[in-house]
Amino acid sequence: MIRVGFYTFPVLLIFWYIYYKKIKPHNDSFLFQRYTYNYFYGFYNGTWYNERSVEIPIVMKAIRMHHGKKILEVGNVLSQYFEVEHDILDKYETKNRIIKEDIADFTSSEKYDLIVSISTLEHVGYDEYPKDDMKIYKAIENLKTLLNPDGMIIVTLPLGQNPVLDKLLKDATVKFSGQYYLKRISKANEWEQASWEDVKDAKYGEPFFAANALVIGIIYGRLVQTNQKFL
């Protein structure tokens, strides 16, 4: 049995980071809708072995498409990997420049052209005290009020982590203009696009570490035309 001590763990992280970024024998890209994305390998949070490897490339594509426009990120994720200029809303973050307010009742005098959230909304109401099973619904509805008429919201949500969210998705209480799915297919953290039937009963942490299925939800502003859509 290998003992992982205080000094050994960072060495292992460096090893796996280099392996997945430079040496790994499996595919370096995945298909989602009509686009090919490269897996994202970041040292922070070891993205090579979890869902961040696919969430970040998809969301960053949307951010690049909206360069120079008004952007809000719900949950402080992307600044861990990139220099960002957009607004960040995170009730529990301690860093400066973060808007430390609750997403369920946050208001803004300016509307946003793009709102993104990476594996954050599943914690809303569920990992809080007191619990509120409908708070995630309220949060998503509130996000819509912050959006420009020609704007877009894109959120990623892991399935199987929050049973309340899973039920809200199954009974369509929480639903999106466009709703897409990714399924993890290997221990090497490879992913492929899937159907709702493929992922609706996915478990978190089984058979692979962390998320085994994701929902990518898109909400378009009321003026967005079909040929302007992101996906």
Asked whether residue 107 is domain-assigned, the answer is: yes
| Whether the predicted pLDDT of 8 surpasses 70 | no
| Structure confidence at residue 7 (pLDDT) | 45
Q: Does 69 or 15 have the greater pLDDT score?
A: 69
Range of the domain at 36: 8-228
pLDDT in tens, 25-64: 557 899 999 999 999 999 899 898 999 999 999 999 999 9
Asked whether residue 3 is domain-assigned, the answer is: no
- What percent of the chain stands above pLDDT 90? 77
Asked whether residue 88 is domain-assigned, the answer is: yes
Asked whether residue 44 is domain-assigned, the answer is: yes
The tally of domains found in the chain comes to 1
Asked whether residue 1 is domain-assigned, the answer is: no
Complete DSSP assignment for the chain: -----TTHHHHHHHHHHHIIIII--S-SEEEETTEEEEPP--TGGGGGGSTHHHHHHHHHHHHHHTTTS-EEEESS-GGGTS---SEEE-TT--STT-B-S-TTT---SS-EEEEEEES-GGGTTTSSSS--TTHHHHHHHHHHHTEEEEEEEEEEEESSS-HHHHHHHHTTSS--SEEEEEEE-STT--EEEE-HHHHTT-BTTBSSSS-SEEEEEEEE-TT--GGG---
Domain containing residue 129: CATH number: 3.40.50
* Confidence grade of residue 2 (pLDDT, cut at 50, 70, 90): very low
pLDDT in tens, 120-129: 999 999 999 9
pLDDT in tens, 124-170: 999 999 999 999 999 999 999 999 999 999 999 999 999 999 999 99
Task: Report the pLDDT averaged over residues 5-30.
Answer: 62
> Whole-prediction pTM value?
0.89
| Structure confidence at residue 173 (pLDDT) | 96
Asked whether residue 23 is domain-assigned, the answer is: yes
| Structure confidence at residue 140 (pLDDT) | 97
| Whether the predicted pLDDT of 230 surpasses 80 | no
